[in-house]
Structures are given as C-alpha cells and as structure tokens.
C-alpha cells in the first residue's frame, strides 16, 4: 500500500459554514473549504510533552496501541498522526529527522538522564496503521535510548508518548 501524506486526498473535517469537505493546507496548520472557501483554524490546544498540537481532525488510521482513530496533529509545523488516548504518534521517516533536528536545536535545558532500554520494549509487536503489516521494533540509532517501531513498506515511524521528548533532551551534540 502506498503511503499518503496526512490529510492529502481525503476530507478530514466538515466546514461549519456549508458542511463541505475541508482540506488541510500543506505546510500549514489550518483547513480550507473546497466549496465555499471558509477557513478553519483548530483550537490552539497546549502541545503534549512531545510537542504535538492537535489539529482537531480525524484520519482514516487506527492507533496501533489503542485501536482508536488517530487524529491529525502537528509538530514543528510538520503533520503527524497522533492518538488522543495513549498520546503516541506516527510520522513519516523523513519528517521525523526534520522534527528531531528542529527540536534538538531549540532545546536549551539540561540533558536528560539516560536509562537503558528494557528488553521488553524490543519484543513488542505493532501492526502498521497504514498497511497492517507487522512493524519492526529497534533502538533509535540517534541520541536518546528509545525503542521505535518502523514500517519499511510505508516509511512511517511510531513513537510512544514521551519518546520524542527523550530524543530531544538526550545528551550530545545539538
């Protein structure tokens, strides 16, 4: 199955003005109605510890942990899928690198204490929300001791709540 950009090609919310399908504007955190031209700017909800801001729209994908519908979110103006229940997120591989680069460059606090990976974290098996195939679980090979789940078919990464923050605050070159 081919990977699609979050929000691309599928209605994600309905217009309050006319009820028509609204589309997410690429590289921006707002929607525009295809029919009447109305704009919708999602509530400015506080971001999670990982910096995810909800855009108030649902996607067609289910959370691989909770099985609830993933919402559309944004981290560093890059669109991600996120779970309102477990607060995990799915992001495209190349977008993850850009998010990490931006988050680590902005971080000015002290480095977080690193804890070793627990073996159980590497045994977990999740199905990719896009293609339903088993994802590969492995240590993230950058800063921070986290186990990430990746799909080599769809080029997406699943991060559990707090894992992006651990990578952001990890010691090492910024």
The boundaries of the domain holding residue 96 are 13-168
Length of the chain: 174
Residue 87 lies in a domain: yes
SS3 letters for the chain?
A: CCCCCCCCCCCCEECCCCCCEEEECCCCCCEEECCCCCEECCCCCCCCCCCCEEEEEEEEEECCCCCCEEEEEEECCEEEEECCCCCCEEEEHHHHHHHHHHHHHHCCCCCCCCCCCCHHHHCCCCECCCCCCECEEEECCCCCCCEEEEECCCCEEEECCCHHHHHHCCCCCC
pTM, two decimal places: 0.77
Q: Which pLDDT does position 169 carry in this prediction?
A: 93
Residue 150 lies in a domain: yes
- State the Cα–Cα distance between residues 173 and 149, nearest whole angstrom: 24
Residue 45 lies in a domain: yes
Q: Which pLDDT does position 27 carry in this prediction?
A: 58
Residue 4 lies in a domain: no
- State the Cα–Cα distance between residues 143 and 140, nearest whole angstrom: 8
Give which of 146, 145, 140 is closest to 160, Cα–Cα: 146
Q: Which pLDDT does position 6 carry in this prediction?
A: 47
Rg of the chain, C-alpha, whole Å = 17
Q: For 103, left (φ over 0), alpha (ψ -120 to 50), or beta?
A: alpha
Q: Which pLDDT does position 31 carry in this prediction?
A: 78
Pairing relationship of beta strands 21-24 and 31-33 according to DSSP bridges: antiparallel
Residue 163 lies in a domain: yes
- State the Cα–Cα distance between residues 3 and 87, nearest whole angstrom: 22
Residue 173 lies in a domain: no
Residue 174 lies in a domain: no
Q: Which pLDDT does position 7 carry in this prediction?
A: 44
pLDDT tens digit sequence for 145-160? 899 999 999 999 999 9
Kindly give the confidence (pLDDT) of every residue in the chain, 174 residues in length, as a single tens digit, with 9 standing for 90 and above: 334 444 444 546 788 889 888 887 765 667 788 888 887 776 655 678 899 998 888 999 999 999 999 999 999 999 999 998 888 999 999 999 999 999 999 999 999 888 888 888 899 999 999 999 999 999 998 888 899 999 999 999 999 988 999 999 998 865
State how many domains the chain has.
1
């Amino acid at each position: 199955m081919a990977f699609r950009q979050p929000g691309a090609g599928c209605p994600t919310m309905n217009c309050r003005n006319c009820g028509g399908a609204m589309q997410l504007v690429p590289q921006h955190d707002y929607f525009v109605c295809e029919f009447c031209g109305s704009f919708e700017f999602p509530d400015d909800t506080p971001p999670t510890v990982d910096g995810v801001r909800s855009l108030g729209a649902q996607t067609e994908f289910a959370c691989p942990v909770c099985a609830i519908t993933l919402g559309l979110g944004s981290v560093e103006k890059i669109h991600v899928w996120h779970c309102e229940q477990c607060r995990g997120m799915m992001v495209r591989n190349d977008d993850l690198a850009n998010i990490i680069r931006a988050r680590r460059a902005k971080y000015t606090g002290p480095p977080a204490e690193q804890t070793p990976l627990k073996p159980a974290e590497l045994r977990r098996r999740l199905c990719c929300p896009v293609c339903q195939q088993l994802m590969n679980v492995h240590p993230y090979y950058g800063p921070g001791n986290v186990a990430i789940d990746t799909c080599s078919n769809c080029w997406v990464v699943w991060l559990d709540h707090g894992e992006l923050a651990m990578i952001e605050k990890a010691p090492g070159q910024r």
